[in-house]
Amino acid sequence: MAKLVDSKETIAVLQKTNFQFKKQFGQNFLIDSSVLEHILSFSEINKNDLVIEIGPGIGTLTEALCERAGFVVAIEIDDKLIPILEETLSSKDNFKLIHGDALKVNYLSLLAEHKEFSSIKVVANLPYYITTPILMDLLEKRLPLKSITVMVQKEVALRMKAAPGTKDYGALTLAVQYYSNPVIVQEVPPHCFIPRPNVSSAVIHLSLHEKTPVSVQNPALLFKTIKFSFMQRRKTLVNALSSGFHIEKKDLQAMLGSLSYPENVRGETLSLADFALIADGIEELQK
Ligand code: SAM
The alpha carbon of 101 and the centre of ligand 1 are apart by a number of angstroms equal to: 10
Tell me the one-letter amino acid at 262.
P
CB proximity list for 209: less than 8 A, separation 6 or greater: 179, 180, 181
Q: What is the pLDDT of residue 232?
A: 82
Question: 104-129 burial, b for 16+ CB within 10 Å, e for fewer?
Answer: ebebeebbeeeeebebbbbbbbbbbe
Compute the average pLDDT of residues 185-196.
98
Distance CA 36, CA 57 (A): 14
Characterize the bridge pairing of strands 193-194 and 29-30: antiparallel
The alpha carbon of 227 and the centre of ligand 1 are apart by a number of angstroms equal to: 28
Consecutive H or E run containing 190: none
pLDDT above 90 covers a percentage of the chain that reads: 96
Are 95 and 74 a contacting pair, CB within 8 Å? Answer: yes
- Nearest by Cα to 188 from 63, 8, 36: 36
Q: What is the pLDDT of residue 119?
A: 96
Distance CA 278, CA 286 (A): 12
Q: What is the pLDDT of residue 234?
A: 80
- Nearest by Cα to 257 from 280, 278, 286: 278
Confidence band, pLDDT 50/70/90 cuts, at residue 211 = very high
Summarize pLDDT for 108-117 with one digit per residue, the tens. Answer: 999 999 999 9
Are 275 and 226 a contacting pair, CB within 8 Å? Answer: yes
Consecutive H or E run containing 139: helix 131-140
Q: What is the pLDDT of residue 263?
A: 86
Atom of ligand 1 nearest to the CA of 10: 5
Tell me the one-letter amino acid at 245.
F
Distance CA 206, CA 35 (A): 17
Summarize pLDDT for 154-184 with one digit per residue, the tens. Answer: 999 999 999 999 999 999 999 999 999 999 9
Summarize pLDDT for 119-130 with one digit per residue, the tens. Answer: 999 999 999 999
| pLDDT for residue 2 is more than 80 | no
Are 6 and 33 a contacting pair, CB within 8 Å? Answer: yes
CB proximity list for 177: less than 8 A, separation 6 or greater: 160, 213, 272
Nearest CA to ligand 1 atom 21: 77
Nearest CA to ligand 1 atom 14: 57
| pLDDT for residue 213 is more than 90 | yes
Distance CA 282, CA 259 (A): 12
117 C-beta closer than 6 A to ligand 1: no
78 C-beta closer than 6 A to ligand 1: yes
Q: How far is CA 84 from CA 7, 11, 95, 157, 268, in A?
A: 16, 13, 14, 30, 46
Residues in the chain: 287
Q: What is the pLDDT of residue 1?
A: 66
Compute the average pLDDT of residues 227-247.
93
75 C-beta closer than 6 A to ligand 1: yes
Instruction: Given the cut 0.90, state whether the ipTM is greater than it.
Output: yes
Average pLDDT, the chain: 96
Nearest CA to ligand 1 atom 12: 55
- Nearest by Cα to 155 from 119, 180, 131: 131
The whole model's pTM is what?
A: 0.95
The alpha carbon of 23 and the centre of ligand 1 are apart by a number of angstroms equal to: 11
Confidence band, pLDDT 50/70/90 cuts, at residue 287 = confident
77 C-beta closer than 6 A to ligand 1: yes
Summarize pLDDT for 45-80 with one digit per residue, the tens. Answer: 999 999 999 999 999 999 999 999 999 999 999 999
The alpha carbon of 128 and the centre of ligand 1 are apart by a number of angstroms equal to: 9
| pLDDT for residue 134 is more than 80 | yes
13-27, 177-191, 232-246: which range is least confident on average? Answer: 232-246
